[in-house]
Amino acid sequence: MKKILSLVVSLTLISGVCAAVLAYVDSVTKEPIKEIKVKQEQDAVKAVLPSGAEKIEPQGEVFVGRDAAGKVVGYAAKGADAGGYGGDIVLMVGFRADKKTVVAYKTLVATETPGLGMNLNTPEFSGQFAGKDGSSLKVKKDGGGIEAITSATITSRAVCRAIGSACAKLAAVK
């Protein structure tokens, strides 16, 4: 009985020390991780807006890109879809001033299969979206004009839906 009690006390102390260390590491790393995510999002907005966007203004969930004269040249919005093969796909999508024509996208979150679904970042795949209407994208298997990534149709469909969700956010922008 005494031996069991000694083991229980030892395990409780070890668990308490581990929990305290984990809590400390979390408190130290929380802000730097948050700052990195904000910087990545800002960089993605700059990368997907049309050329000529010199001023970027946040408007809720949408970023408005304006030229030096203040004229709107494009928009950027975050789009997401939970139906990727590996889970959530989150993209920052750039649109022209017409609020529907895709300029480009940058991947913010994707845990797709390396060598297959992660090809969503290749210029061969992502380049297909430029100049297309973001509200009606579909892969060719579903009657659309997007050539799916070989062996990664689920990922390709999720990218189309994520771009569509970003496009839908622009409807609220005046």
- The Cα–Cα gap between 52 and 56 comes to 11
The token pair at 108 is 């913010």
Structure confidence at residue 79 as a pLDDT band (50, 70, 90): very high
pLDDT for 117 beyond 90: no
Q: Distance from CA of residue 96 to its chain's centroid? A: 19
In this predicted model, what pLDDT tens digit does every residue of 14-55 receive, in sequence order? 999 999 999 999 999 989 888 988 888 888 889 999 888 888
pLDDT at 111 over 90: no
**Which pLDDT belongs to residue 99?**
87
Give me Rg for the CA atoms of the chain. 22
Pairing of strands 62-66, 102-110: unpaired
Amino acid at 55: K
- Looking at residue 96, its pLDDT comes to 94
The yes-or-no verdict on residue 174 having pLDDT over 80 is no
SS3 label, residue 157: helix
What is the spatial distance between Cα 14 and Cα 37, in angstroms, rounded to a whole number? 33
**pLDDT for 122:** 92
